[in-house]
Structure 1
Amino acid sequence: MKPIIFSLILAFAASTVFAQTDTIKTRHTDGADADTIIIIKSKKGRKLKFGFGNDATQVNINTTTSDTTYTASKQPGFSMGLTFTRFDIGLTTLNDNGSFTLQPQNQFLNYRSWRSASVGFDVLQISYRFNSSFRIYTSGGFDWLTLRLRNNGTIQRDGDVLTFVPDNIQYTKNRLRASYLRVPIAFDFRTHDDADGRRFHFVGGLDMGLLLGSSFTQESKENGNQMRTGDYHFTKFRYGPFVRIGYGGIGVFAKYYVNDMFDDSPAQKGLRQFSFGMSVGW
């Protein structure tokens, strides 16, 4: 997770060093909604356009006056491209057969609620816009699940079932993690701009995920830092409904995966993941 974040920071820093960036609030001459677009001007004079939150399909530049007017067209149709949006950071909660209290066989997964996280973002998007207010889209991105365990002990990797071996070591970190490729299919409705130039978004759909990898990390005085990657029985494919509600560029999200969190481990049958938190970018 940390190398990915550092890479994104370096990429952003490089773009500011080698390019001139202008941020423009677009406006429509026909009274339609406006969008925020970033124009990056390279040293050779070429321009790259990135639309934040929505698919700004066309930019017309009028330089006949002293002020430059940028007009974004929102005609119906398909759009596709790279993006960095819907950055989610939230909490993860386990639902054990309809209860938020873990059953006895799952007590070894007792976790620190405020330190068990769900983090993700999208990097690719394909959408079809019906009109200025409604579109459907699918996207590709990454999602990380982290459980900070309370109990001292180790979850065995590559076991026949999910197995926890307790010990007397005091761990400052005892963390179970899984990473997923996330592919949502969403219905996105947005209102018209208000007096402040912002709008509400209401999004709902199906979130799907393909397992990329899992690991178990521990930190203690006795053993130092240890990270073990392998099979911890996380489900290879997860799916479930999600909703997003936002105003401007900030909102909230909630996801509930309807299939089991772990595969091939009968004692954990019915244990599912619920995540909620804040989201930036639309």
Structure 2
Amino acid sequence: MKQLITFLALAIICTSATAQDSTKKSKSDTIRIGGIIIVKNGKKDNPGKENKDFNITMGRHDNAKKKNANVSTNWWIVDLGFANYTDNTNYTTANTDGYLKNRPGYPTLDKNDFKLRSGKSVNVNVWFFMQRLNLVKHYVNLKYGVGLELNNYRYKSSLSYKEGGTIPYSVGLGANTNAPFIFRDSISFSKNKLAADYLTVPLMLNFTSNPGSHKKGISLSAGVSAGYLYSQRNKQRSSERGKDRNKGDYDLSQFKFSYVAELGLGRIRFYGSYSPQSFYDHSLDMKPYNVGIRFSNW
């Protein structure tokens, strides 16, 4: 009996000592700063001295799940493409209402005079930002932004724009006019383009097959854009006159409404736009469109 009591007493003493040991162990501390995780072990290798043992982990924790933001922003997007238009002008009317001026003894201006050098008629867009707003579990989003739309139409012929004033060949046509007009010039140009620049706001509905990655999957956006014409000019270069730059409104419409679309195939993105309205206010019926490649994160 005494042996049993002695054994139980020793067991109680050992259990108490083990419990006291465990109370002396300090729990490890974890600090998370953004993508950095710092773990302090809290062990004591030397009695009376605190052990400064830290584990530092950079990057996302294995157990943490990355979530898509409901609103994401993409800054400074650039588009490079081609600019052109569909020409449905009634040239009989355009030649009689005074907007097109014809040189005596030369054929009247027609559709052939407004043909473009397709490879040199370019469109460059610079978007200050675009935002994507989650609508349905990041598979369906609202996409919008603000930027500059720059269009350069390079002519094959010797068209010239004037805001008004003296007509170069005024015999039989009147010496002056206050209205803008277009005429066939008497010289050939090595470079002859009409530039039309807009401040544009696009609004699109976006569909994506892989919300978790902009590098994979297929995305499609479609919608409309509204543009304000803030600059237009006729730039020419010739051996006779050198570089010439004329500015004016040229009867171009102040506002531009377009249908816009974007197709993303993994990292590669294409864009397109088409305006159902002519970019001239009167006389000429020319509906502009652009196609090209978009350099964007999503």
Calculate the TM-score normalised by the size of structure 2.
0.64
- Note if 1:61 corresponds to 2:35: yes
**Residue in 1 that maps onto 2:116:** 111
Matched residue of 2:260: which SS?
strand
- Distance in structure 2 (CA, Å) of the matches to 1:166 and 1:196: 50
**Residue in 1 that maps onto 2:210:** 192
Q: Given residue 68 of structure 1, which amino acid in structure 2 is its aligned partner? A: G
Alignment of 1:142-157 (within 5 A): 142-157=148-163
Shift of the 196–171 alpha-carbon distance from structure 1 to 2, 3 Å rule, reads closer
| Native 8 Å contact 1:153 1:169 kept in 2 | no
Shift of the 140–275 alpha-carbon distance from structure 1 to 2, 3 Å rule, reads same
- Once the two structures are TM-superposed, the CA of residue 230 in structure 1 deviates from its matched residue by 1.5
| Native 8 Å contact 2:36 2:57 kept in 1 | no
Q: Given residue 73 of structure 1, which amino acid in structure 2 is its aligned partner? A: K
Alignment of 1:50-199 (within 5 A): 60-64=34-38, 66-69=57-60, 72-76=66-70, 78=71, 83-85=75-77, 87-97=78-88, 105-130=110-135, 131-158=137-164, 163-192=181-210, 197-199=215-217
Residue-by-residue CA offset, 1:69-92 (whole Å, 9 max, x unaligned): 38753143x45x67112x211112
- The partner residue of 2:226 within 186, 208, 222 is 208
| Native 8 Å contact 2:214 2:266 kept in 1 | no
- Distance in structure 2 (CA, Å) of the matches to 1:205 and 1:195: 23
- Distance in structure 1 (CA, Å) of the matches to 2:261 and 2:157: 33
- Distance in structure 2 (CA, Å) of the matches to 1:111 and 1:160: 28
| Native 8 Å contact 2:74 2:131 kept in 1 | no
- Distance in structure 2 (CA, Å) of the matches to 1:236 and 1:195: 39
- Distance in structure 1 (CA, Å) of the matches to 2:228 and 2:262: 21
- Once the two structures are TM-superposed, the CA of residue 198 in structure 1 deviates from its matched residue by 2.0
**Residue in 1 that maps onto 2:104:** none
Residue-by-residue CA offset, 1:131-157 (whole Å, 9 max, x unaligned): 222210221000011111111241112
Q: Given residue 134 of structure 2, which amino acid in structure 1 is its aligned partner? A: R
Alignment of 1:219-258 (within 5 A): 219-258=237-276
- The partner residue of 2:290 within 254, 275, 279 is 275
Greater share of residues in strand: 1
Shift of the 150–196 alpha-carbon distance from structure 1 to 2, 3 Å rule, reads closer
Q: Given residue 114 of structure 1, which amino acid in structure 2 is its aligned partner? A: G
Q: Which runs of 5+ in 2 are unaligned?
A: 1-32, 39-55, 95-108, 165-176
Shift of the 248–63 alpha-carbon distance from structure 1 to 2, 3 Å rule, reads farther
Matched residue of 2:156: which SS?
coil
Q: Given residue 74 of structure 1, which amino acid in structure 2 is its aligned partner? A: N
Shift of the 82–67 alpha-carbon distance from structure 1 to 2, 3 Å rule, reads closer
Q: Given residue 79 of structure 2, which amino acid in structure 1 is its aligned partner? A: D
- Once the two structures are TM-superposed, the CA of residue 194 in structure 1 deviates from its matched residue by 9.4
| Native 8 Å contact 1:108 1:164 kept in 2 | no
- Distance in structure 1 (CA, Å) of the matches to 2:200 and 2:74: 15
Shift of the 258–129 alpha-carbon distance from structure 1 to 2, 3 Å rule, reads same
- Distance in structure 2 (CA, Å) of the matches to 1:201 and 1:181: 25
- Once the two structures are TM-superposed, the CA of residue 204 in structure 1 deviates from its matched residue by 0.5
Matched residue of 1:171: which SS?
coil
Matched residue of 2:216: which SS?
coil
Calculate the TM-score normalised by the size of structure 1.
0.67
